[in-house]
Structure 1
Amino acid sequence: MAWFSKADLRVLAGDRSFERGLGYLAAVTNVGSLPDGVVGTVHGTASYRARLRNVGGSLAGTCSCPYGREGAFCKHCVALGLRVLTTESESPAQATDMRAFLETLDRSALVDLIWQQAQDDAALYQRLLLFMATESARPDSSVLGVQVDQLKVDWINYGDEDAYAANATAVLDALGRLIPTRSEVVQPLLRRALTHIGAAASACEDVTGTVVAVAERAWRLYLDSCRLVPPDQAELGRWLVDFHLDGPEWPEVELDEVVDLLGEPGLAAYRLGLEQTGSKRNDWRFRWLREQFVAATGGTDELVACLAEQLSGPHDYVRIATLLREDGRLDEAVEWLQRGHRAEGRWDARSYGLVDLLVELHQECGRDSDALELLEAKFTDAPAEDTYRQWREAAERVGRWQHLREQAHRVLRERAEARAFRAAETLARILLAEGDIEASWQVVQRYRCDESTRLAVADRRAETHPADAIAIYRPVVDTAIAETNKHSYQRAAQLLTTLRDLHSRIGTESDFEADVRSLKDAHRRKRSLLAILADQGL
């Protein structure tokens, strides 16, 4: 018997992936045994490598597909498992203790076996090369250098990220083995590896961050080697500037991580490198480096001055105000935000974060009237539920909400009459949140509102007026069915279940039953829909 069953595959994958895996059974090729399980290729939109493992008697699976790389037991794992179960002989041979057998062979036989396999197995040959280069009495930096430089690529095709990451990891493992004893040899190799792997992270889709994670590991190894054998501080400072400005985007290297390694000579070289570059470029990287340098070496005033050199939008004023706030300088923070508010000159999503922080600071300073004035202007210009709640909470603190509430509702009704974007929905939801169900019902009856708002109001209206709610729910059933997918069919069934309860409450069950029969007849070709309705007892 196999160490897993179809039931195990279904439990791990779920019904949907299991059923989909059935359709890939014929697409499984290149099945091979491994000490802890099997591996195979499954061909679909691309070719993926799936592996099943016996972990303490339990089944586990991995796959190179996007879903599998997220840790899921995917349809490709299911297909591989089904192929194994299909092709397994009725009386499988007893598993061989391979390690025990290998221990019986003499050294020459083992060498021949490994060397023969390495002729056609690039990954094994690389491991042998790296092992030879690092485990011999005198490490071979030239071999290691060749392996590092092979990490340089122009592009990584989709699906090949894992293979690249495995290759790069093998190289880093080898370099890591030398760090305790030969850090001075490893450091220049790790710098090259950082450049190549970082560039590779931008030369692929890498949706799961596999290559980025390897680039970050390379950076950690480099830091470890530098802490064991500190490099020349000035040279390190110059290299870091060049790496930041002209190197890859990955890994993200923070100056704070290396301030202790740089010391005064390294920071001086770093500053000089920035100054020499400043006249040549003014891109985001250079500005980011200057900000990091000032943050690491200067105080709040120096960093504020650096940020103030280029104010491109509200977020820059917010950053400055946040620094000043953290330094306990609230009045100055308010001044910067007010300056940013004047500079922006308009209300939109870009400025809301600035306004929200300014409101907080006004309240911290006891200037509640200023906070209310800002929130009133923000709400009047762009009414929204969040702003309404902010305004109400601020007004309630000073006992002024009753008057302002009438003003806020008047603004919303005027905008609803003018058919302003989402004004009616905002009014209905605010009334609903305040418990005024009748007023929110009148809004959705009078104005055009989106489906979610109408349903939210209908949910509450149904508590006292089930017949009114029926008129809202029933058209949504038809809309859901028209989308013709399983999810929308399930939603239609849920709505019909709600309608059944409402009809029962007003004694019109026969009308509901006739409606469902008519609906099923009109959609009799939609077998998935009919099956879902049957599951709900409809």
Structure 2
Amino acid sequence: MQLLAVEPTAVPALSRRAVERVTTALTHMDDSSGGVGADLHALMEVHAQACSLAPPDTKRLAAWLAKIRLDGPGWPDFELRDYATALGENGRAELGHIVEERAATAEADVFGSTPFEIRILREQLAEVSGDVDYYVSVVAADLRTARQFLKIVNALRDADRACEAEQWACRGLGQLGNPIEMDRLRDVYVELLLDRGAEAEALALRQQLFDEHPVQSRYFALRRTAERTDDWPGLRAEALQRLRDAVAARSAFVEELLGVLLDEHEHAEAWQVAVAHDDVVSESRWKQLIELRQPMHPADVIEPWKRLIEQRLAMTSDKYRYRRAITMLRRLSEAYRASGNDTGFQLYLADLRHRHKRKTSLLAKLDNVER
């Protein structure tokens, strides 16, 4: 970045070389942490910025970007809009020509459609053209996912064409798709309804979806919308009861209810629900509940801590189970001490040692707890 400030003309070539070398290196290494990939993304941003300040030959830049997208290993990713200025009209035309040449000879993907790499470049070229109708027509060539509908909806919304955006959103919601993507599309649809004053319609949609499947995400979505329409005070109790009824029918909804109760700061009820359904509450949720409960009610958390310790010690697939159990033992010791029952902890520890007397590595760690 310092070189960019003092000698910008040198940076496009240098950053391009760096991108190519890191891209090659990534094909031979494990980047499960994502650190190198993040660095590569940052390098692409530097390259795009440098090209905007000191544009290289537009045809060569177009050919390079096409090679990355169409012939590369799948990275680095980039947004063509970042290169729009550097490419200019001639560069964009050259890139479009390359894309269409490749499309003419490309084999269809497993769905019988144009390969993703070509489709994404077509879409990005249409986006930087500034022609919204053209962009919509290009994206609409592949409407298999809610993500495609969302691209169209956002483009129309940004162009102040809310009525058309709402129609496309409604059409997209009539399809089947990835639940996360459908939720995003639905959120935008609800926003469009609220923007045009259709509050009752927006709220009815949220209520219907929550009633069909009472989970945290839909509860929170209902709350957001009802807060916008000032209906939440009257709906909150009804929504919570819907979750309680779901738990009464199926214990699979316990985690959903607990998540909502904690978010609503109904800590006492959350504890009661967890105690009543202790066999289906996850370890992470128990820890969250215990941390809230232990300061004021230390005696209440003793048995839950014991269950978690026993469960962790039984997890033979976890090579860190002893270390994690010891951490929980220390918190159990604090709970016993705060409740005025130091003897109780010593008795439990002695019983634990007796039951696991053959596990020498565990016994050594238990010695540290007793000190």
TM-score normalised according to structure 2 size: 0.74
Q: Select the structure that is richer in strand.
A: 1
Cα deviation, residue 313, structure 1 = 0.9
**Maintained 8 Å contact 2:19/2:40:** no
Q: Which residue of 1 aligns with 2:216?
A: 385
Q: What is the distance in 2 between the residues matched to 1:324 and 1:446? A: 50
Deviations 1:154-201 (A, max 9, x none): xxxxxxxxxxxxxxxxxxxxxxxxx98xxxxxx9xx99x899858845
- Once residues 369 and 503 of structure 1 are traced to their aligned partners in structure 2, the CA distance between those partners, rounded to angstroms, is 53
Do 1:241 and 1:274's aligned partners in 2 also have CA atoms closer than 8 Å?
Answer: no
8 Å contact 1:375–1:390 — kept in the other structure?
A: yes
**What is the aligned partner in structure 2 of residue 301 from structure 1?**
133
Residue 288 of structure 1: how far off its partner (Å): 1.6
Hey, which of these two has a bigger chunk of helix by percent? 2
| Percent identity between the two aligned chains | 27
Question: Which of the residues 399, 405, 425 maps onto 2:236?
Answer: 405
1:121 equivalent in structure 2? none
Contact 1:341 1:355 in 2 (8 A): yes
Gaps of 5+ in 1: 1-178, 181-186
2-structure distance, mates of 1:258, 1:441 = 54
Query: Shift of residue 262 of structure 1?
Result: 4.9
The structure-2 alpha-carbon separation of the partners of 1:298 and 1:508, relative to structure 1 and needing over 3 Å to count, comes to closer
Query: Partner amino acid for 2:254?
Result: A
Q: Which ranges in structure 2 are unaligned for 5 or more consecutive residues?
A: 1-8, 107-113
SS in 1 for 2:174: helix
- Tell me which residue corresponds to 1:499: 332
Q: Indicate yes or no: 2:302 matched with 1:470.
A: yes
3-state SS, counterpart of residue 343 of structure 1: coil
Measured in 2, the distance between the counterparts of 1:401 and 1:426 equals 19
How far is 1:330 from its partner?
2.9
Aligned to 1:314: 146
Matching residue of 2:156: 324
After superposing the two structures, state which structure 1 stretch, 483-492 or 379-388, moved more. Answer: 483-492
Which residue, 363, 379, 399 being the options, matches 2:194? 363
Higher relative contact order (CA 8 A, sep 6+): 2
Match of 1:431 among 258, 261, 285: 261
Pair 1:270–1:439, CA change in 2 (3 A): closer
Q: Go from structure 1 to structure 2 and tell me whether the alpha carbon gap of 1:294 and 1:481 turns closer, same or farther (over 3 Å shift).
A: same
Alpha-carbon distance change, 488 to 268 in structure 1, aligned in 2, over 3 angstroms: closer
Q: Distance in 1 between matches of 2:259 and 2:86?
A: 57
State how 1:80-479 maps to structure 2 within 5 Å. Answer: 200=24, 203-205=27-29, 207=31, 209=36, 213=40, 220=47, 231=57, 236=60, 239=63, 243=67, 247-249=71-73, 250-252=75-77, 255-256=80-81, 259-260=84-85, 262-281=87-106, 282-344=114-176, 348-419=179-250, 421=252, 423-447=253-277, 448-450=279-281, 451-462=283-294, 465-479=297-311
Within 1, Cα distance between the matches of 2:275 and 2:190?
36
Verify the 8 A CA contact 1:486 1:529 in the aligned structure 2: no
Q: CA 1:317/1:508 → structure 2, altered by over 3 Å: closer, same or farther? A: same
Summarize the Cα distance change of 1:379–1:271 in structure 2 as closer, same or farther, 3 Å threshold.
Answer: same
**Is 2:206–2:222's contact at 8 Å kept on the other side of the alignment?**
yes
Contact 1:244 1:285 in 2 (8 A): no
Deviation string for 1:400-424 (max 9, x for gaps)?
Answer: 3344334323332333233253x01
1:515–1:357 Cα change, 3 Å: same
* Alpha-carbon offset, residue 314 of structure 1: 0.8
Conserved? CA contact 2:333–2:345, under 8 Å: yes
Instruction: Please say if residues 353 and 363 of structure 2, whose CA atoms lie closer than 8 Å, have aligned partners that are also in contact.
Output: yes
Q: CA deviation at 1:259?
A: 4.7
SS at match of 1:383: coil
Partner of 2:29, secondary structure, is coil
- Measure, in 1, the Cα distance between the counterparts of 2:89 and 2:133: 21
Answer with 1 or 2: which has the greater Rg: 1
Using the size of structure 1 for normalisation, the TM-score is: 0.53
Aligned letter for 1:428? L
Q: Distance in 1 between matches of 2:99 and 2:265?
A: 60
Moved more, 383-392 or 261-270: 261-270
**Which amino acid letter does the alignment assign opposite residue 271 of structure 2?**
W
Counterpart contact for 1:236–1:262, Cα < 8 Å: no
Judge conservation of contact 1:278–1:286 (CA < 8 Å) in 2.
yes
Deviation at 1:316, TM superposition (A): 1.0
